[in-house]
Amino acid sequence: MSFTRTIEDFKCERCGAEVKGTGYTNHCPKCLWSKHVDVEPGDRAATCAGLMEPVAVAQKKGEWVIEQRCTKCGFTRNQSAQKEDNLEVIIELSRGKS
């Protein structure tokens, strides 16, 4: 799998938050939702464009990992949580709530 760093600011289509991209930003830090835009990380080659819902979190090697599922096609992907992410939402997901 190759990675293409793409620096993009965006407005979250779920909660409306304005997000400043770093090139590694792959979800909204406020609500943890994203958009199904990549086939390989950063390539923007997916044609689905459905919203990716955070459905679960797990800890791996001491870091939070967010599982997201596309609400349009069902595709799933794991994303590493970032320090800017809303810890309250992560905790709710860890309890099985969203």
Q: Report yes or no on 27 lying in a domain.
A: yes
CA distance 96 to 24: 27
Task: Determine the average pLDDT of the residues in 66-73.
Answer: 97
Q: Report yes or no on 61 lying in a domain.
A: yes
Q: Report yes or no on 1 lying in a domain.
A: no
Number of structural domains (the chain) is 1
pLDDT band (50, 70, 90) for residue 14 = very high
**pTM here?**
0.87
Q: Report yes or no on 2 lying in a domain.
A: no
Q: Report yes or no on 17 lying in a domain.
A: yes
Domain of residue 22, residue span:
10-94
Q: Report yes or no on 3 lying in a domain.
A: no
CA distances from 10 to 23, 57, 61, 66 (A): 12, 23, 30, 20
Q: Report yes or no on 5 lying in a domain.
A: no
